[in-house]
Amino acid sequence: MKKGMTVAVLITVTVLAGHTASAQLQPPPAPPSLKTVKVPEPDNLGEFVKDKVAAIKLGKSLFWDMQIGSDGITACASCHFHAGADSRSKNQLSPGLLRVSDLNLQSPNPDTKVEMGGMNYQLKPEDYPFRKLQDPNKSDSAVSADTNDVTSSQGVFYSKFIDAVPGSAEDKVEYKPDPDGFTVGNTNVRRVEPRNTPTVINAVFNFRNFWDGKAQDIFNGVNPFGLRDPEAKVYKVNNKKSLEAVQVRLNNSSLASQAVAPLLSNIEMSADGRTSAEIGDKLGSSNKRGLLHVVSETLKGRGLLNIVNDTLKGRGLLHIINDKSGTLSRMLGKRLLPIRPLGKQLVDPDDSVLGDDSRDRIPGLETRTYAEMIQAAFKDEWWNSKTEIIQVAADGKPTIIKKPNRNLTTQEYTLEEYNFPLFFGLAVQLYEATLVSDDTPFDRYQEGNTNALTVQQKTGLDIFRSKGLCIFCHNGAEFTNASVSHVSKNGRLSRTPDGRIEDTGFFRIGVRPPFEDLGVGANDPFGNSLSEARLAEQGKFQQIFGQNPNRPITSVVADGGFKAPGLRNVELTAPYFHNGGQLTLRQVIDFYNRGGDFRGTESGSLPPLNLTEEEKEALVAFLKGLTDERVRYEKEPFDHPQLLVTNGHPGNETSVTDDGTGKATDGALLEIPAVGRHGRVNPLPNFLE
């Protein structure tokens, strides 16, 4: 190894907001093993959970259950079944839905046409990278192909919610023409998310989740927006055995904030207009009633409908529900409580969490209902009210009333139904917190096994922390500056070498122009920037977060910035970047080597690295040393129930078969077989393998 890569080197420090500065720096030390990092957990978890083992069991069931989606097919795991991410390759393109025409006003200008192939297109290796240069080592080389399309994950067909049928795996919906262009001819196909699907493995270490950081570190029990929503409340039974509205604040809970968002996304899992409380009724006690979905101007005005409008599109919130009061989330709970958990899926008797409750060759768990699982996991005061219920008016205002001696009406909720988002978020978080991959060759090397990495991988590690500059955004055992530990140590705001302020762990690196996707520069449904640096600039930081910014504010970098992902198991989670525009790790290295694809003040500016071919291959080899073989072979804790997923539609991008309701037939579902704690013999293929 050259001395200049192991001692002090002249490094062009990356300023991912659009500038570079040179400095004589000692390369940072290699990160430690992930086993040295404590898994983050809420300080006040004991106020809510009475049995953590039962809560993890509930969370794993909810995460993998196909009955959660409006169509009775789509689970959380449908987009996270392969190394925590998605390896499907047909009907996985989304157009530029998050495009804006003006960075300052965030004027919406969505692109609804897929340029590469079309909807229901079967992706091919030669489609990548999305931006093709004649010389991949030079960002100013002639462009031979380019697109703003995104590789992501298919979800549900566009439909309008009509009713929730308690105990049914599907909602009653009406299929409508897709307003965002997810059609072949005049036939709807399944919608596709506007950003590439990140892995949920090790996501517990992220201070904020989602590419744009919208899933807040504080969980409010209602929605993803944490302290940004001061009106978010749940109910509990007080010492007088009466219900009272309370605000909950669970720290280290970005995963819970993240978990409650896709449930109501009309792209990912939900019919347009469905609510979380309605899902709970679907899973709830069998004596509950169906729901009449009432669309009122009052609800529209209070932002309580699952409506995706142009304003939300322009703010990069196309797939997030503007559910300020939580009414939508709570109605989801009405459908789920009486359903047998995993009622459509087999569970391996050797499953590390659910095995004791497996029915072997019969779908579903021995536990009969989700209501029972919630009651076993959570303290009674959050679900057990024998005398009172919550009645919600048309304007969203809740009122406590005496429990009537009759079936409840559409607007009346048991405490268990009303608090369903709280249960769902915390249970899924506790399950995902077990998905930690800390047994890689790199971890073993850092623990003292000098033979755990090959000579080439050791060279790659040196490049990673020196000439490659990777470590400046992917620091720590988590391999991301967006981690809880990094933010706790360095503060929520970071300063770039040229003096500007950015959200810690969020960078603008020129993958695409900022106007195509504002990322952390977009707004939340309350009109506040997702960028905490921008909130500080606007004088809103203390008001929202109850603390002063950790740095004095000058100018801010936000638009087009995205969270630096962790790099563990990156070998298994192609395609890469927020747009899924790179197929291989080598293509990713080429991107960084040429200084990004879009350079300049507005798009970002990475320094060219001038890596040799040998150095590139060494860096790729090192990244493969971050793979935990338990993830590859789905061994405990990465084992799971059976899952059936859609995989595009029979036909192609020019022809599909209408099933008679205006939507394309799904054809045979792709089976991801149930696997127990010892994993499988042959791993699932990676994306486009």
Residues in the chain: 689
- Per-residue pLDDT tens over the stretch 544-567: 999 999 999 889 999 999 999 999
Boundary (domain end) residue, out of 581, 598, 630: 630
Residue 142: its pLDDT value, please? 96
- Per-residue pLDDT tens over the stretch 331-354: 667 778 889 999 999 999 999 999
- Whole-angstrom Cα distance, residue 548 to residue 541? 7
Average pLDDT over residues 206-212: 98
Average pLDDT over residues 252-270: 86
Q: Is pLDDT of 318 > 70?
A: no
Q: Strand ranges (DSSP E) for 180-324?
A: 183-184, 187-188, 234-237, 243-246
- Per-residue pLDDT tens over the stretch 68-97: 887 889 999 999 999 999 999 999 999 999
Q: Which residue has the higher pLDDT, 388 or 307?
A: 388
Is the CB of residue 7 less than 8 Å from the CB of residue 551? no
| Residue (of 341, 398, 399, 401) closest to 371 by Cα position | 341
Share of the chain above pLDDT 90, in %: 75
Same domain, 469 and 398: no
Residue 71: its pLDDT value, please? 86
Q: Is pLDDT of 15 > 60?
A: no
Band (pLDDT 50/70/90 cuts) for residue 599 is: confident
Tell me, yes or no, whether 232 lies in a domain.
yes
Distances (CA, A) of 175 to 262, 314, 584: 20, 25, 38
Residue 29 belongs to a domain with what CATH number? Answer: 1.10.760.10
Q: How many CA atoms lie within 13 A of 411 on its CB side?
A: 14
3-state secondary structure of 529: strand
Residue 602: its pLDDT value, please? 72
Share of the chain above pLDDT 70, in %: 86
Residue 280: its pLDDT value, please? 60
Token pair, residue 419, equals 């608090």
Tell me, yes or no, whether 95 lies in a domain.
no
Place of tokens 């495009």: 99
Tell me, yes or no, whether 126 lies in a domain.
no
DSSP string over 181-196: --EETTEE---B-SSP
Same domain, 525 and 605: yes
Band (pLDDT 50/70/90 cuts) for residue 279 is: low
Tell me, yes or no, whether 619 lies in a domain.
yes
Same domain, 271 and 227: yes
Boundary (domain end) residue, out of 432, 449, 464: 432
Same domain, 570 and 518: yes
Same domain, 275 and 331: yes
Is the CB of residue 333 less than 8 Å from the CB of residue 421? yes
Same domain, 29 and 57: no
Is the CB of residue 413 less than 8 Å from the CB of residue 389? yes
Residue 330: its pLDDT value, please? 64
User: How buried is 385 (Cβ within 10 angstroms: 0-12 exposed, 13-18 middle, 19+ buried)?
Assistant: buried
Is the CB of residue 644 less than 8 Å from the CB of residue 670? yes
Give the least confident one: 257-271, 305-319, 492-506. 305-319
Tell me, yes or no, whether 350 lies in a domain.
yes
Query: Which sign does the torsion angle of CA 676, 169, 432, 378 carry?
Result: negative
Residue 396: its pLDDT value, please? 83
Q: Which residue has the higher pLDDT, 210 or 13?
A: 210
Average pLDDT over residues 148-177: 83
Tell me, yes or no, whether 90 lies in a domain.
no
Boundary (domain end) residue, out of 610, 630, 650: 630
Same domain, 476 and 597: yes
- Whole-angstrom Cα distance, residue 622 to residue 455? 10
Is the CB of residue 465 less than 8 Å from the CB of residue 29? yes
- Per-residue pLDDT tens over the stretch 219-250: 999 999 999 999 999 999 999 899 999 999 99
Token pair, residue 514, equals 């900022």
Strand partners, 600: 604
Token pair, residue 332, equals 């989801």
Q: Is pLDDT of 29 > 50?
A: yes
Backbone torsion region of residue 196, taken as left when φ is above 0, otherwise alpha when ψ lies between -120 and 50, otherwise beta:
beta
Band (pLDDT 50/70/90 cuts) for residue 270 is: low
Token pair, residue 366, equals 């021995």
Average pLDDT over residues 462-474: 97
Is the CB of residue 261 less than 8 Å from the CB of residue 306? no
Tell me, yes or no, whether 188 lies in a domain.
no
Tell me, yes or no, whether 527 lies in a domain.
yes
Report H helices in 392-545.
Answer: 415-418, 420-432, 441-446, 455-464, 484-490, 532-537, 541-545
Average pLDDT over residues 367-378: 96
Residue 268: its pLDDT value, please? 73
Is the CB of residue 539 less than 8 Å from the CB of residue 556? no
Same domain, 271 and 295: yes
pTM across the whole model: 0.91
Q: Which domain holds residue 58?
A: 45-84+201-432
Same domain, 367 and 510: no
> How many domains is the chain partitioned into structurally?
2
Q: Which residue has the higher pLDDT, 286 or 538?
A: 538
Give the least confident one: 7-21, 55-69, 87-101, 153-167. 7-21
> Average pLDDT over the chain, rounded to whole?
88
Same domain, 362 and 463: no
Is the CB of residue 234 less than 8 Å from the CB of residue 390? no
Q: Is pLDDT of 179 > 80?
A: yes
Residue 70: its pLDDT value, please? 79
Same domain, 588 and 459: yes
Same domain, 260 and 306: yes
Band (pLDDT 50/70/90 cuts) for residue 661 is: very high
Is the CB of residue 140 less than 8 Å from the CB of residue 670? no
- Whole-angstrom Cα distance, residue 185 to residue 668? 22
Report H helices in 564-639.
Answer: 585-593, 613-624, 629-632
